[in-house]
Amino acid sequence: MAPLLEINNLRVEFRSRGLFRPHKPFVAVNDVSVSIEAGQTLGLVGESGSGKTTLARSVLRLTRAASGSIRFDGHEVTEFGRVPLWYQRRVQAIFQDPTASLNPSWSVQDIIAEPLRVHTDLSGAERAARVSTLMEQVGLDPGLDHQRPAAFSGGQRQRIGIARALATEPDLIVCDEPVSALDVSTQSTIVNLLNDVQRETGVAYLFIGHDLGLMRHVSDRLAVMYHGKLVEEGPAETIYTDPQQDYTRRLLDAAPGFDPAEQQRKRDARTTRAASQVLEESTV
């Protein structure tokens, strides 16, 4: 069976003109080939400026200065003029900054319902019911759907972004560093949520990040980029435990320890201690 997303020999370069003569083109992505199976996660890792986000934007058709091939479910994405609605419905995105990616003047109801309004024939009541279901799925109280993003914490705002991305039941979600703006404890909560969503829905992720410790826990396969090129690719555990390239080893050396399961155990322990303390105080 063919991969859900298959990228072959992708090259993205940007040209700018100086005052008297053209500048040399800047090659952001240089001959990169990767693929993602349905229901799987490809972690795309590398330092800032390595070309990760440019590749992701090419998949989303937000960047079009590309040559090579991007095939989604048998369709050649680079041949799209205007991005078709079916592609927008089946390929969604979660962005790095949940504050910047949510319209501050809209309610949570409006934000999550917008993809449903564009891509479905659901009535207003049906959209409202779907929004409530999505909010529950990502751990938000549906009773808060009238609130605006400013009323929520950073982690809650990212949950809103995840609910919005899930609204159209996509096959692929491009996650562009979706936890890098959050504290470590909140990061682990969002990572666990994304893993749970994948198990429940079968959605595939293109997950972008720079922390190999974190990426190990969200990825089936890892692709390491450096200066626009793919330097290493393979099963996540293999890349993490037996990296073949010096650059990958340097990324590992720089990665802080990250274990979402351990973070969850610590939160559970804190909750248990707090409950015990309340019980002791109530019996005094």
Q: What is the pTM of this model?
A: 0.85
In terms of residue numbers, what domain contains 275? Answer: 5-100+178-283
Give dist(CA 48, CA 269) in Å, integer.
Answer: 36
Within-domain flag for 246: yes
Within-domain flag for 123: no
CATH code at position 224:
3.40.50.300
- How do residues 47-68 score in pLDDT, each as one tens digit? 888 999 999 999 999 988 778 9
Give dist(CA 7, CA 122) in Å, integer.
Answer: 34
Within-domain flag for 48: yes
Q: What is the mean pLDDT of residues 126-148?
A: 96
Percent of the chain exceeding pLDDT 70 equals 87
Within-domain flag for 74: yes
Check pLDDT > 80 for residue 125: yes
Q: How many other C-beta atoms lie within 10 A of the C-beta of residue 262?
A: 11
Supply 166's token pair: 């899930």
- How do residues 244-263 score in pLDDT, each as one tens digit? 999 999 888 877 655 555 44
pLDDT of residue 262: 47
Within-domain flag for 146: no
Give dist(CA 224, CA 82) in Å, integer.
Answer: 31
Within-domain flag for 36: yes
Within-domain flag for 13: yes
Q: How many domains does the chain have?
A: 1
Could you write out the DSSP letters of every residue in 169-224?
--SEEEEESTTTTS-HHHHHHHHHHHHHHHHHH--EEEEEES-HHHHHHH-SEEEE
Within-domain flag for 225: yes
